[in-house]
A and B are shown apart, each in its own frame.
Chain A
Amino acid sequence: MPGNIKVEIVTPDKAVVSEDAQIVMAPGILGEFGVLIGHTPFLTTLKVGMVRYTDAGGQEHRVFVNGGFAEALPDKVTILAESAERRRDIDLERARAALDRAKKRMETAAQKDKVEYARARAALERALHRLRAAGKEVS
């Protein structure tokens, strides 16, 4: 590794992550992308999903991000998310409950109510990605 890149994940409430990483992977709107040190300046919006980074010690971390955008500079990645949770902060019970709720809502809203359907779908997606970020396999 030629060196480490600084990764920062900030939400309106707090700075969730601020440390050095070997590599950062983030869910860009046009697909997942990885950032190493010396990356060309880059700006993109993010999907709901998971940011992964390997810290200086070689350990992998996962952080759930609820949309937002990312800016990559040669020495730094900044991710601005509306909310973000580290793996250990994810509330599994709540995410599971949200998943079930969203599934039911999607069933009842299917066909009839497009807006409601889209909302339920977004909720489902959030719950799924939360669970995945927490390392749970879900179908």
Chain B
Amino acid sequence: MPTLKDVELKIVAVKKTKQITKAMNMVAASRLRGAQTAMDAFRPYAGKFAEVLGSLAEKSGEEASPLLVPKEDVKRVHLVLMTSDRGLCGGFNANLTGLAESFLKKTAEKGLELSISCFGKKGRDWARNTGVPIGAEHLGVVGGNFDFSAASNPGRLLIDGFIDGTYDEVHLILSEFRGMARQIPTLKQLLPIPPIETEEEDLDEDKPFLAEHIAEPSAEELLGDMLPRNVYVQLYNALLETSTSEHAARMTAMDNATKACNDMIENLTLAYNKARQAAITAELMDIVGGAEALKG
């Protein structure tokens, strides 16, 4: 049986923990709102971009850009791993590094050389332990405030690396945001750019179709100019998705922690009351016993 003081101290401690988890929950909630706003703001750009790119790709072939052509002999593979900088967000980072782990095994089986670049400290820490050479690391991006250059600068390096043959393929691991309780670790191929899907649904509408556009300088050149940007757009989108996922995951984790604290406080209060009652009973017994003895 713990003493009264022990239980009291424990209750105070749990209450303090609860305050912290609750505060973290609220911070994550407000950051989540910010991240979602950023995602909403990006949607018109991304939508228009995909539309134009799709119709350009339809008109021009693979030879429009070296970024479209798969390398014949793939030896060196590069992985861009996006995680958060900070923990306390449930299984969020473990899920992402888990996917990276299986990717790592797969490339090892095929005998490919792998290198990694990381957005986020947790992923970097994981990568260090694997012994895979780490290229660039970008900390303080995911989950914070970043603009398009956070995606375009690393994107440029990746493209340069792909063109000069440092890597033959570039893959990306991100966390897709599918709602508060669903963040899905996803593996995507970044380079060479996979065949671009054209949206068929647009064809039915009677608005003028892009195929009739006059393109300046030419459709091929336009496409060649847009494809690198497509990589940045993908990266930026991935950063937004991963950030939003991180905040959502942290919110859920902290919500669960707060609930667990409430349960603990309830149980402890019960134990405290029991212990107090036991003490009172014992004291009463003492007094009654003493009085009886005096009576003689």
Chain A residues in the interface with B (C-beta under 8 A): 10-15, 28-30, 40-45, 69, 71, 73-74, 78, 80, 82-83
Contacts A13-B38, A69-B226 given; does A41 touch B216 at CB 8 Å: no
| Residues of the A chain whose Cβ atoms lie less than 8 Å from the Cβ of B212 | 41
- Contact residue among B38, B216, B225, B226 (Cβ-Cβ distance under 8 Å from A42): B216
Contacts A30-B216, A43-B210, A43-B222 given; does A10 touch B148 at CB 8 Å: no
| Residues of the A chain whose Cβ atoms lie less than 8 Å from the Cβ of B222 | 43-45, 69
Please measure, in the bound complex, the distance between the C-alpha atom of A133 and the C-alpha atom of B102, giving whole angstroms: 51
Contacts A69-B52, A74-B208, A82-B148 given; does A12 touch B213 at CB 8 Å: no
Contacts A12-B148, A29-B216 given; does A43 touch B41 at CB 8 Å: no
Please measure, in the bound complex, the distance between the C-alpha atom of A69 and the C-alpha atom of B219, giving whole angstroms: 13
Please measure, in the bound complex, the distance between the C-alpha atom of A28 and the C-alpha atom of B215, giving whole angstroms: 11
CB distance B213 to A45 under 8 Å?
no
B214 CB within 8 Å of chain A: yes
CB distance B207 to A12 under 8 Å?
no
Q: Most B CB atoms within 10 A — which of A12, A30, A43?
A: A12
Encode contact with A along B247-288: 1 for CB under 8 Å, 0 otherwise.
Answer: 000000000000000000000000000000000000000000
CB distance A44 to B216 under 8 Å?
yes
**Number of B residues with CB within 8 Å of any CB on chain A:** 28
Which 4 A-B residue pairings sit nearest by Cβ, starting from the closest? A44-B216, A41-B213, A12-B148, A43-B213
CB distance B48 to A80 under 8 Å?
yes
Within the complex, what minimum Cβ distance (angstroms) separates B125 from chain A? 29
Within the complex, what minimum Cβ distance (angstroms) separates B68 from chain A? 18
Please measure, in the bound complex, the distance between the C-alpha atom of A59 and the C-alpha atom of B207, giving whole angstroms: 30
CB distance A11 to B148 under 8 Å?
yes
Within the complex, what minimum Cβ distance (angstroms) separates A46 from chain B? 10
CB distance B147 to A13 under 8 Å?
yes
Query: Which residues of B (210-249) have their CB < 8 Å from a CB of A?
Result: 210, 212-217, 222, 225-226, 229, 233, 236
